[in-house]
Structure 1
Amino acid sequence: MASHGILLVDKPGGLTSHDVVARVRRAFGTRKVGHAGTLDPMATGLLVIGIEGATRLLTYIVGADKTYTATIRLGSRTTTDDAEGDLVDTADAGAWASVDDEAVQNGIRSLTGAISQVPSSVSAIKVAGRRAYDLVRAGESVELAAREVTVSRFDLIAQRRTADFLDLDVIVDCSSGTYIRALARDLGDALGVGGHLTALRRTRVGGFHVEDAVGIDDLDGAPTLSPAAAAERVMPVLPVTAEEARDLRHGKRLVGQRDRLTASEVAALDPDGALVGILEARGKDIKSAMNMPEVQA
């Protein structure tokens, strides 16, 4: 029987997130596998994978903030806002006249903080029940609504100029739902030369880091985080007694104990250190929003 746990995988370029899930299913001998946030085939880096009962935790991980390293190419636009798309246009010499280091930094600053962002039309967002990228591939026009996101860090690490392009290596810390391709597109548009993404790597999802991940060829026997250890990286922990754990697992409330909660969502651990579930307030009481299977090994 497959263990219940969270597996961190360093996805290589060229594979879809679904490809990685399929390989994990084979390696762990179970169909019950999911992930906490898609990476495009071009992208590399951290995929947080849930196995068996730990898939229940993915709901609480998918909304975590994230860190990416990326390369933005200024000077051309593509149909997908990244290197996998078709070239739309290339900036002429005159367009570069005002694109100096100060202009680039000003453009980056304008895309830092709380911003309104229109996702790329080839994103996985659903429109009338279908993925936007499927609609685009079918030749349909897609216009996605702007959404509020937060880019808490947008740092320029290095830059390389050629006769036709300016490549920017950047690090981005952002809220869930932020599209780095859209940042590249919007920076290029603001500077009047166009832009798209040529490289993307996710290095962090909440408290999970790519340095702790295994490679795609090392899945057999790969170590997993227990549900309890994984939950501790996402939210505060509340120790509960064996009696409280039993009550919570049976759907009972901890009456009048709301003040024990230190956040809107808290992980309950029983005396053995096993994850009972995720707790939330209901009036003055505490109730399980999600219960884990009692057998987690």
Structure 2
Amino acid sequence: MSGKSTGPDGLVLVDKPAGLTSHDVVGRLRRLARTRRVGHAGTLDPMATGVLVVGVEKATRLLGHLALTDKEYRATIRLGQTTVTDDAEGDVTAAADAGDLPPGAVDAGIAGLTGDLLQVPSAVSAIKVAGKRSYKRVLDGEDVELPARPVTVSTFVLHDVRTTTAGDGTRVTDLDVTVVCSSGTYIRALARDLGAELGVGGHLTALRRTRVGPYGLDGARTLAQLEERLEVLPIGAAAAAAFPRWDVDAEQARLLSHGVRVTVPAGLAEGPNAVFGPDGRFLALVEPAGGRAKALAVFA
């Protein structure tokens, strides 16, 4: 495929299917948009489904600035089995009867994993250790212990509880939950830690991301739907949804389009702001610095 840019500028909100990596989805979108200039924000594991934010053409320059810190998931946690990956993709390494958990124990465990936490990421993850992905070190037979890092689980709600018998004969308990959390939170690590707290082990069997930042499933499309019609959220609409908006006059627009640091109005939000000209055109991302607008990316 040629590296020539021919695709539309904007975000594509993909409802990722299970079995594909986020990079696989980018490859599909490159073909559909007929451009190599495609990237994604907020990686989803192959097992997971749901909202994946993909940038096309100039919108790839938005991806690094998107405040996708607030994410929502629907998940199923299986108590009674531990796996090497903390999810259903890995082999079971330990099992314990989870059919008769004490009343209130699950609720107490969930409560203990809600709020500001220090979470140890799953060893089978893409986090780099001395320049090498952690999961590759695990596959090479190394014992990897990642340092704990701060995360926030703002919502951890239990919807349904089911007790069944797994294929190995172990009685397991499946929990359907909703989790709203900060970027960098591993839902499978929550499953692992909940199982450990209850003394029976746990892992994740299903994960669906229903929202990332301001973008939800209602705006996402499956790959099959995108094959029929490529729906791109225009770059201006994408910026307006993700950042505080600053409307400028014609002279300010001219200066900002050339990277000139104009004076910012009082009360302009810290962090990235989306600048729009008098004609409604998206011009730039800027942040206030010393009373002036520092350009993060110019799109005009």
Aligned to 2:210: 203
TM-score, normalised on structure 1? 0.93
What displacement does 1:96 show? 6.0
Instruction: Identify the residue that residue 231 of structure 1 maps to in structure 2.
Output: 239
Picking from 37, 41, 51, the partner of 2:42 is 37
SS of residue matched to 2:104? helix
How much is the aligned-residue C-alpha RMSD, in angstroms? 1.4
Greater Cα shift, 232-241 or 5-14: 232-241
The answer to whether residue 185 in structure 2 is matched with residue 178 in structure 1 is yes
After superposition, the C-alpha distances for 1:196-232 in whole angstroms (9 at most, x for unaligned) are 0000000101110112111111224322111111112
Give runs of aligned pairs for residues 104-183 of structure 1, distance below 5 A: 104-163=106-165, 164-183=171-190
Aligned-partner SS, 1:233: helix
How far did residue 13 of structure 1 move?
0.5
8 Å Cα contact 1:60/1:234 also seen in 2: no
Cα displacement (A) at 1:258:
5.0
Amino acid at match of 2:143: S
Q: List structure 1 segments (4+ residues) > 4 angstroms apart after TM superposition.
A: none
Residue 80 of structure 2 corresponds to 75
**1-side partners of 2:139 and 2:265: how far apart?**
50
Matched, 1:87 2:92: yes
AA in 1 matched with 2:266: D
How many aligned residue pairs are there?
289
Question: Identity over the aligned pairs, expressed in percent?
Answer: 55
Q: Distance in 2 between matches of 1:229 and 1:269?
A: 11
Matched residue SS, 1:150 = strand
| Aligned match of 1:282 | 289
The question of 1:240 aligning with 2:248 is answered yes
Partner-residue secondary structure (3-state), 1:122:
coil
1:61 is paired with a residue of what secondary structure? coil
Equivalent position SS for 1:6 = strand
Shift of 1:274: 2.1
Q: What secondary structure does 1:55 align onto?
A: helix
**In 2, are the aligned partners of 1:236 and 1:263 still within 8 Å (CA)?**
no
Contact 1:206–1:233, Cα closer than 8 Å, also in 2: no
